[in-house]
Amino acid sequence: MTRTALRRPRALVVSALAAMTVVSGCGADVESSTPKSAGEQVTVTNCGAPLSVSGVPDRAVSNDTGITELMFALGLGDRMAGYTTYEGKERDIESSPWRADFEKTPSLGTAFSREIIAAARPDFVFAGWNYGFKESTGVTPDWVRSTGAVPYQLTEACRQAGTTKRGVVRPLDALYADLSNLGQIFGVSGRAETLTAEYRAQVEAARAGAPAASAAARVFLFDSADPTPFTSGRNAAPDQIIAEAGGRNIFGDIDDSWTSASWEAAAQRDPQVIVIVDYGAGPQNTVEAKIKQLESQPLMAQTTAVRERRYISFPYAALVEGPRNPQTITALAEYLRSQGL
């Protein structure tokens, strides 16, 4: 790929990253947690089951950047014993509106393991299925419970009954549910309600300029390919981000969260725009490398999006459930309108 050919995607990446810094509620001037009286208990619904928490947790551990940013958006950095993340999430922290909170909060490394969690002595562990909770590692809600800590599951990643498929409510409803639940658990319900109102208003404003559903642009979420493309089904945050921005996720008929598809299916559905997940670490994970992969893939090379080079990129944390979602919708909506879509 020539230097000239890369100029347009680079400009789009800069625009999308800049938009991520406008998210409201960056962790400053928020109400502090209100300690509950001794023995006071709050019960919320988490993944369809009641979850009871006594007192206000003060040694929370979270996994992954989007999940950790939910804590920071609610002003709960002082309630955290630490967070873990994964290799390749440098772009998330670098672009985060809560970068200062990441710097102040203990980083527990890149392994969400029993040993790391136990060493932090948490009373509250916030993760999700495939966002840290996995039977293969032994880190499950049941194990967390056995240590005496409270396990809280990311609602976007709740498992469907009797299956390992994820997603039981629409992605933004998952975000609002988690804000409400965390607000109640940590005594910051007012803050949670304010954020939810702001996010709903942002989404409504972005949706106002969207075309009718019948005219929605076909959008392909491209995370990676090894060798088949990893993308978003209808239960992952990108599906609703795309829909609220005025597009249509080409894999919105898959009843799952983040999942694998095929190049044949992606090409057959002829996307008009491709949203690329920017991890920012390693030569194979750069946006330019992913664009080169798309353009060298024989089937994808014939699609409208690749022929017209309609690419836009966002950091990973902007595309999983988290407080960046509303601004991601706004940025994607602006891009689609700029392309006449």
317-327 per-position pLDDT tens digit: 999 999 999 99
Instruction: Tell me: pLDDT of 3 over 80.
Output: no
pLDDT at residue 1 in the model: 31
Handedness of CA 333, 336, 337, 341 (dihedral sign): negative
Q: Which residue has the higher pLDDT, 67 or 16?
A: 67
Contacts of 341 (CB under 8 A, 6+ apart): 211, 217, 246, 247, 272, 273
CATH 3.40.50.720 is right for the domain spanning 3-20+212-338: no
Burial of 87 (0-12, 13-18, 19+ CB in 10 A): exposed
> Mind listing the pLDDT tens digit for each residue in 32-90?
445 545 458 999 999 999 999 999 999 999 999 999 999 999 999 999 999 999 887 88
In whole angstroms, what is the distance from residue 100 CA to residue 56 CA?
24
Distance CA 288, CA 198 (A): 34
Q: Work out whether the CA dihedral 113, 239, 14, 99 comes out positive or negative.
A: negative
Instruction: Tell me: pLDDT of 23 over 50.
Output: no
All CATH 3.40.50.1980 domain ranges of the chain, comma separated, are: 3-20+212-338, 41-201
| 314 backbone dihedrals φ, ψ, rounded to 5° | -135, 150
Average pLDDT over residues 3-23: 39
Residue that has been written with the tokens 């639940």 in this structure: 181
Q: Out of 1.10.260.30, 3.40.50.1980, 3.20.20.70, 3.40.50.2300, select the CATH number for domain 41-201.
A: 3.40.50.1980
For the beta carbon of residue 295, count every other beta carbon within 10 angstroms: 15
Please state, in angstroms and rounded to a whole number, the distance separating the CA atoms of residues 247 and 45. 31
CB neighbour burial string for 13-50, b if at least 16 within 10 angstroms, e if fewer = beebbebbeebebbbeebeebeebeeeeebebebbeee
Q: What tokens does 37 get?
A: 């009286």
Q: Could you identify the residue written with the tokens 């023995």? A: 39
